[in-house]
Amino acid sequence: MIRFLKEIYLTGFTLLFRMSRSKKISYKAGGAMTIITLIEAFNLSNIMCWLDIFAGKRILPRFSEPEVLLAFLALGFLNLYVLFLCGFTFFHGIKFEREFDNLKKSRKILLVTSCVVLLLATIVFSIYSTSAHRHFIQEMTATK
């Protein structure tokens, strides 16, 4: 299961890498990595919202802009390590992108479909989480 999730992660990178119009490989890879980092940051933000809701109060501190930027950069460097610097062939994003066409057609379809479904789930999860957290905050301020 973990291997499949890693392949979905690398498939997302591959799809974003191939959609780039840039000629330079470093720009294409950097753009794909940044979009993946944004998606992960949205998911982390939504999880933090739900932690507040399930606890019934604000348990996590509100972060300032520099703290959020620092967390985003840390997440970006983690993606940089996994996609480019890690020596394992399975994790290396560029190698996976080059070998993606050699996968069986059924495997490619499964990975691309799973990647798109996870992206759509992220969008729905973000919209629902934002709405629920706003409602939660309004109820908290109304009771004070």
Question: CA 33 to CA 114: how far, in whole Å?
Answer: 19
**pLDDT for res 81:** 84
**pLDDT for res 58:** 79
Taking the whole predicted model, whether its pTM rises above 0.85 is answered as no
Which amino acid type is present at position 25?
Answer: I
**pLDDT for res 120:** 94
Task: Kindly list the distances between the CA atom of residue 55 and the CA atoms of 18, 50, 144, in Å, as whole numbers in the listed order.
Answer: 42, 8, 17
Cβ contact 20:31 at 8 Å:
yes
Per-residue pLDDT of the chain (144 residues; tens, 9 = 90+): 888 888 888 899 999 888 887 788 778 888 888 999 999 998 988 998 899 888 888 777 788 889 889 999 999 998 888 887 775 554 577 788 888 989 999 999 999 999 999 999 999 999 999 899 888 888 878 776
Question: CA 20 to CA 68: how far, in whole Å?
Answer: 27
Cβ contact 83:93 at 8 Å:
yes
Domain boundaries, the chain: 2-143
**pLDDT for res 88:** 53
Eight-state DSSP code of residue 57: S
